[in-house]
C-alpha cells in the first residue's frame, strides 16, 4: 500500500463522516429535523414506479414502522406531506409531498448537491 492510497482512504472516510453531520445542519437551517429531511428525500427519491407506502418509506429511512408513522404524522401536521389511501387497495396508505414540503426539500437538496460537487475532483 502506498501513502497515496492511505491518503485517499482517509479522505474518503473523513468525507463520509462529515457529509451526514453537515446534512443535519443544513436540514436544521431550513427548519427541519434531520429525520424529517431524510423522510422527505425518501419520498421524492423513490425509484420510478416505487410506491410511497409507510412500509416502503420506513425501510428507506431505516426506521421501525411505528417510528415512521410518528415522523409522517409530524410532517403532515406541519404541512409538508399528506396521506391518502390507494383506490385499488384501501389498506395501503400512500404518502406524498405537498408544495411546502417540496420547496423545503429542494432548498436543502440543492445545498447538499453543491457540497458534493465541491468535493468532486476536476481535471
Q: Which long-range contacts (CB under 8 A, 24 or more apart) does 14-18 make?
A: 15/119
77 domain-assigned: yes
Instruction: Estimate to the nearest angstrom the gap between the alpha carbon of 90 and the chain centroid.
Output: 27
Domain count, the chain: 1
Residue 120 lies in a domain: no
Q: What is the pLDDT of residues 95-119, one digit of tens each?
A: 999 999 999 999 999 999 988 888 7
CATH number of the domain to which 93 belongs: 1.10.10.10
Taking only the tens place, the pLDDT of each residue in 47-68 is 988 889 999 999 999 999 999 9
pLDDT at 88: 82
Domain range spanning residue 75?
A: 3-115
In a domain, 51, yes or no: yes
Asked if residue 15 is part of any domain, the answer here is yes
What backbone torsions phi and psi does residue 53 show, to the nearest 5 degrees? Answer: -85, 160
The answer to whether residue 10 sits within a structural domain is yes
Structure-block grid coordinates of residue 99? 408544495
User: Average pLDDT, stretch 28-50?
Assistant: 94
Residue 20 falls within a domain, yes or no?
yes
pLDDT in tens, 67-89: 999 999 999 999 999 999 878 88
7 has pLDDT over 70: yes
Amino acid at each position: 500500500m502506498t501513502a497515496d492510497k492511505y491518503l485517499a482512504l482517509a479522505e474518503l472516510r473523513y468525507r463520509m463522516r462529515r457529509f451526514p453531520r453537515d446534512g443535519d445542519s443544513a436540514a436544521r437551517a431550513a427548519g427541519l429535523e434531520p429525520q424529517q429531511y431524510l423522510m422527505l428525500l425518501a419520498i421524492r427519491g423513490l425509484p420510478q414506479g416505487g410506491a410511497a407506502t409507510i412500509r416502503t418509506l420506513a425501510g428507506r429511512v431505516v426506521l421501525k414502522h411505528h417510528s415512521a408513522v410518528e415522523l409522517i404524522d409530524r410532517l403532515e401536521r406541519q404541512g409538508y406531506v399528506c396521506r391518502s389511501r390507494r383506490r385499488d387497495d384501501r389498506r395501503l396508505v400512500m404518502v406524498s409531498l405537498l408544495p411546502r414540503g417540496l420547496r423545503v426539500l429542494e432548498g436543502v437538496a440543492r445545498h447538499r448537491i453543491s457540497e458534493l460537487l465541491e468535493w468532486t475532483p476536476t481535471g
